């Protein structure tokens, strides 16, 4: 299953806050079972994505995968038995 993180929550007035919003959306999509997630980049409400924002979007996904371990389990919300 693939998902695109919604750009409706990204705002132009405070673009750096979009980084936190996108991180939460990425984690929610991963917990929901998505295998491929296309994030909205923090500067998309202002302009075409820059190289920096593209790199940051990719790193955000990698950090979430590494730090949470979500990709290592079948159902991360199932709990332990």
- The whole-number average pLDDT for the span 59-66 is 91
- The whole-number average pLDDT for the span 35-62 is 90
Neighbour-count burial for 25-60, b at 16+ CB within 10 Å, e otherwise = bbbebbeeebeebebbbbbbbeeebeeebeebbeeb
pLDDT at residue 74 in the model: 84
Residue 41 included in any domain = yes
Residue 79 included in any domain = no
Residue 22 included in any domain = yes
Residue 77 included in any domain = no
Q: Residue 51: pLDDT band by 50, 70, 90 thresholds?
A: very high
Residue 25 included in any domain = yes
81 pLDDT above the threshold of 70: no
Residue 58 included in any domain = yes
Task: Domain of residue 46: give its range.
Answer: 2-72
């Amino acid at each position: 299953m693939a998902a695109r993180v919604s750009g409706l929550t990204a705002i132009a007035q405070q673009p750096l806050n979009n980084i936190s919003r996108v991180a939460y959306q990425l984690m929610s999509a991963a917990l929901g079972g998505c295998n491929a997630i296309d994030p909205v980049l923090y500067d998309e409400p202002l302009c075409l994505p820059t190289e920096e924002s593209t790199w940051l979007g990719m790193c955000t996904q990698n950090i979430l995968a590494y730090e949470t371990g979500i990709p290592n389990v079948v159902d991360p919300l199932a709990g332990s038995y």
